[in-house]
Amino acid sequence: MRAIETGLLLLVRVVLGVLFIFAAWMKLKNPQAFADSVLAFKIFGRADHLVVLTTFVVPWLEVICGALLVLGLWSRAAGIALGAQLLIFTGGIISVLVRKLDVTCGCFGEYEWPCTGAVSMCHVGRNAVLLLAAGLLAWRGGGVAGLDGLLWRRPSRGAIPEPSRS
């Protein structure tokens, strides 16, 4: 059972990490297109400085969290940070749907899989699946198959603790 959990956490951690690194790369490759997507959501109103801040902060947060997940370092913190981002993104998408705006997501640049076209409930569903993955990592950590597991490995059950030196 331990091997299945280790394999599952490794798979979820690496897939989510690579996915967010890819999403960040698409935003950093064409920051103007991402800024246009942020503007189209009409969340910040006339606060252009918040659009600029979002355009540069979001991709770098995705890169950092994605890299941490791929490495298996601070996996819980990275899962929490990505989960928080996903909640905010999903709130923005729901806001667009309620206001009936015709907006494209811009989340993965020109590669909007499996959701294509204007923002829809498909985007909410996709984010829900990603949020579940991030939540799993926040709850269980990255597993032993990563830097967290190597650096902070707990002694196995039945191991004799080292005597304290007084």
Phi, psi of 104 (to 5 degrees): -95, 155
CB 9 within 8 A of CB 141: yes
pLDDT band at 164 (very low <50, low <70, confident <90, very high): low
Residue spans per domain, the chain: 2-141
What pTM does this model have? Answer: 0.84
Q: 134-155, pLDDT tens digit by residue?
A: 999 999 887 777 787 777 665 5
pLDDT band at 68 (very low <50, low <70, confident <90, very high): very high
Residues of the chain above pLDDT 70, percent: 90
Q: 80-98, pLDDT tens digit by residue?
A: 999 999 999 999 999 999 9
* Helix, strand, coil abundance in the chain, percent, nearest 5: 65, 0, 30
